[in-house]
């Protein structure tokens, strides 16, 4: 029979040592050590509270504070010795603290469990990550606003079904991306309200018999309040799933942006010039300039969505309260945050260097009869029912297709053969500039509305 592993702080219950493979298989320290600073932050607040209620002496608190400060420095300097035998970040830090300061280190865990400790650490970690993500989102939004202001008058085709539909401005199109990110920002900020609730003090699942002051601990850690139910506090990860859902939506939006950038930079569209620093060449085709950054971001959106599904499946069949399954929440959560931050950073760095090929955009907008709806609206304003106007415009479009001309290039006599309501003023709206300028309302594509939207957005940010 194996001897008992006395290195583990929690080994006294067992008559046999942990199987060597199981020890490695069940350990999480290789990845959860990333939350070391959050763990130390939580322990400092918990220890201060324990001192306030008389569990720790002032000297013991000072020893704990000094010891944790040394451990924090060791970790930052890469000198801390992580041990799989101690399973996770919490036990590694506690073991080292006890080694440094003796019995006071063993007292630090009074009134808490690793169950509420890890739930607190994850929330502290996500708070920090959301701050970073919001900063990168802001950078990208500012870059979009600058580009939209610069391209407020640049006419391009608007698409439905990837077919030319109506003319819009490039600035207006970019502001659509901005609006998506604005909603993403709101979702993250709303998610943060539910993350910022403190589970510490729930202990293993039922609370503790010690007279702890959870409001004090919450205040010390910057949480809005302590959680209301100890069972729920340690067992649910819906706050992490909500973060992953918000991250998946952001990545879905970035993937849509990527798809358009990839299309627009192709020879078939040739709408934009992608900055060289964000593209690569081909190993055998010297003419190639591949939009690798948007392609990779588009690919990584599937990775983040996969993590969301993984977390949902992780939680869906767990009975109350804590289960070892929840050790599997960290790697997808960490990778989600890392991937999102990096993708936002790449886009924020790249966006200021996007250059519109205005002539190509303009020519493309003239293909596909983009002002056909403008002609129908013109006839309606002249008193014709919309369905009749739709039929008249269809006939005019057929003439344009047969003769290879845009509507604006068809003569007045030719247009009047379809309706005598058409007069010389029709050409004001058949021109692309007239079409976009006519959409002069809140949310419209008129250049002055785009500029107004940009200024309003700057005030929001």
Answer yes or no: is 260 within a domain: yes
Residue-range definition of the domain harbouring residue 391: 368-460
Answer yes or no: is 33 within a domain: yes
Of the three residues 362, 377, 392, the one that is the final residue of a domain is: 362
Instruction: State the virtual CA torsion across 162, 165, 171, 173 in degrees, nearest 10.
Output: -40
Answer yes or no: is 174 within a domain: yes
pLDDT value at residue 158: 96
Answer yes or no: is 12 within a domain: no
Can you tell me the distance from the alpha carbon of 340 to that of 129, in angstroms, rounded to the nearest whole number? 10
Answer yes or no: is 6 within a domain: no
Answer yes or no: is 232 within a domain: yes
* Residues 342 and 379 placed together within one structural domain of the fold: no
The CATH number covering residue 413 comes to 1.10.40.30
Can you tell me the distance from the alpha carbon of 444 to that of 454, in angstroms, rounded to the nearest whole number? 13
* Residues 312 and 429 placed together within one structural domain of the fold: no
pLDDT band at residue 456 using 50, 70 and 90 as cut-offs? very high
pLDDT value at residue 286: 67
pLDDT value at residue 58: 98
pLDDT band at residue 10 using 50, 70 and 90 as cut-offs? low
* Residues 266 and 339 placed together within one structural domain of the fold: yes
Average pLDDT over residues 400-415: 92
Out of 10, 224, 266, 282, the active site residue is 282
* Residues 63 and 143 placed together within one structural domain of the fold: no
Can you tell me the distance from the alpha carbon of 40 to that of 251, in angstroms, rounded to the nearest whole number? 32
pLDDT value at residue 18: 74
Average pLDDT over residues 119-139: 98
Kindly tell me if the per-residue pLDDT of 217 is higher than 90: yes
* Residues 225 and 79 placed together within one structural domain of the fold: no
* Residues 318 and 188 placed together within one structural domain of the fold: yes
Out of 83, 161, 390, 403, the active site residue is 161
DSSP 324: G
Of the three residues 88, 110, 132, the one that is the final residue of a domain is: 110
Answer yes or no: is 208 within a domain: yes
Tell me how far the alpha carbon of residue 329 is from its chain's centroid: 18
pLDDT value at residue 14: 63
Q: Which two tokens stand for residue 441?
A: 């309302």
Told to judge if 72 belongs to the known catalytic residues of this protein, a careful annotator would answer no
pLDDT value at residue 5: 46
Express each pLDDT in 34-91 by its tens digit. 999 999 999 999 999 999 999 999 999 999 999 999 999 999 999 999 999 999 999 9
Express each pLDDT in 175-193 by its tens digit. 999 999 999 999 999 999 9
Can you tell me the distance from the alpha carbon of 139 to that of 410, in angstroms, rounded to the nearest whole number? 46
Answer yes or no: is 9 within a domain: no
Half-sphere exposure of 342 (CA within 13 A, CB side): 14
Q: Which two tokens stand for residue 383?
A: 């008193």
**pLDDT higher for 288 or 380?**
380
* Residues 177 and 211 placed together within one structural domain of the fold: yes
- Per-residue CA distances from 387 to 306, 374, 381, 391, 392 (Å): 47, 14, 13, 6, 9
* Residues 356 and 403 placed together within one structural domain of the fold: no
pLDDT band at residue 239 using 50, 70 and 90 as cut-offs? very high
Of the three residues 89, 110, 131, the one that is the final residue of a domain is: 110
* Residues 79 and 203 placed together within one structural domain of the fold: no
Query: Which helix (H) or strand (E) covers residue 169, if one does?
Result: strand 163-169
* Residues 278 and 427 placed together within one structural domain of the fold: no
How many domains does one find in the chain?
Answer: 3
Express each pLDDT in 293-352 by its tens digit. 999 999 999 999 999 999 999 999 999 999 999 999 999 999 999 999 999 999 999 999
Query: Which helix (H) or strand (E) covers residue 159, if one does?
Result: strand 155-160
Vertex 402 angle, CA 396 and 406, to 5°: 55
Kindly tell me if the per-residue pLDDT of 9 is higher than 70: no
Reported pTM: 0.91
Cβ–Cβ under 8 Å, residues 5 and 85: yes
Does a cis peptide bond (omega within 30 degrees of 0) precede residue 321?
yes
Cβ–Cβ under 8 Å, residues 216 and 52: yes
* Residues 317 and 452 placed together within one structural domain of the fold: no
pLDDT value at residue 17: 73
Nearest to 129 by CA among 244, 27, 235: 244
pLDDT value at residue 3: 36
The CATH number covering residue 287 comes to 1.20.200.10
Told to judge if 10 belongs to the known catalytic residues of this protein, a careful annotator would answer no
The chain-wide mean pLDDT, for the chain, equals: 94
pLDDT value at residue 20: 87
pLDDT value at residue 343: 98
* Residues 203 and 228 placed together within one structural domain of the fold: yes
């Amino acid at each position: 029979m194996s001897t008992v592993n006395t290195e583990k702080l929690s080994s006294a219950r067992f008559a046999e040592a942990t199987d060597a493979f199981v020890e490695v298989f069940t350990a999480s320290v290789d990845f959860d050590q990333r939350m070391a600073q959050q763990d130390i932050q939580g322990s400092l607040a918990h220890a201060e509270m324990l001192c306030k209620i008389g569990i720790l002496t002032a000297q013991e608190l000072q020893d704990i504070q000094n010891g944790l400060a040394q451990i924090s420095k060791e970790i930052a300097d890469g000198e801390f010795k992580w041990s799989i035998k101690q399973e996770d970040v919490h036990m590694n830090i506690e073991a080292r603290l006890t080694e440094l300061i003796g019995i006071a280190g063993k007292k630090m865990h009074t009134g808490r469990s690793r169950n509420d400790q890890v739930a607190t650490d994850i929330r502290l970690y996500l708070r920090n990550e959301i701050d970073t993500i919001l900063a990168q989102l802001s950078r990208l939004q500012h870059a979009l606003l600058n580009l939209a202001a610069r391209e407020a008058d640049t006419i391009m085709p608007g698409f439905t079904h990837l077919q030319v539909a109506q003319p819009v401005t490039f600035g207006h199109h970019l502001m659509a991306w901005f609006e998506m990110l604005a909603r993403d920002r709101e979702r993250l900020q709303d998610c943060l309200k539910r993350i910022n609730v403190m589970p510490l003090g729930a202990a293993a699942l039922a609370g503790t018999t010690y007279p702890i002051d959870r409001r004090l601990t919450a205040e010390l850690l910057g949480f809005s309040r302590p959680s209301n139910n100890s069972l729920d506090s340690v067992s649910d990860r819906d706050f992490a799933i909500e973060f992953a859902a918000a991250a998946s939506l952001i990545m879905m939006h970035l993937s849509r942006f990527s798809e358009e950038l990839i299309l627009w930079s192709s020879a078939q569209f040739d709408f934009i010039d992608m900055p060289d620093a964000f593209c690569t060449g081909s190993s055998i085709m010297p003419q190639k300039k591949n939009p690798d950054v948007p392609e990779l971001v588009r690919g990584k959106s599937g990775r983040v969505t996969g993590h969301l599904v993984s977390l949902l499946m992780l939680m869906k069949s767990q009975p109350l309260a804590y289960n070892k399954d929840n050790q599997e929440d960290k790697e997808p959560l960490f990778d989600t945050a890392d991937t999102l931050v990096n993708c936002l950073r790449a886009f924020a760095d790249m966006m200021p260097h996007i250059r519109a090929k205005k002539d190509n955009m303009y020519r493309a907008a003239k293909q596909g009869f983009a002002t056909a709806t403008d002609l129908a609206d013109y006839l309606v304003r002249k008193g014709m029912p919309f369905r009749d106007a739709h039929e008249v415009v269809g006939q005019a479009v057929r003439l344009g297709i047969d003769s290879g001309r845009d509507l604006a290039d068809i003569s007045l006599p030719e247009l009047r053969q379809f309706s005598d309501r058409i007069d010389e003023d029709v050409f004001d709206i058949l021109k692309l500039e007239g079409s976009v300028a006519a959409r002069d309302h809140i949310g419209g594509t008129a250049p002055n509305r785009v500029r107004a939207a940009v200024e309003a957005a700057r005030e929001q940010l």
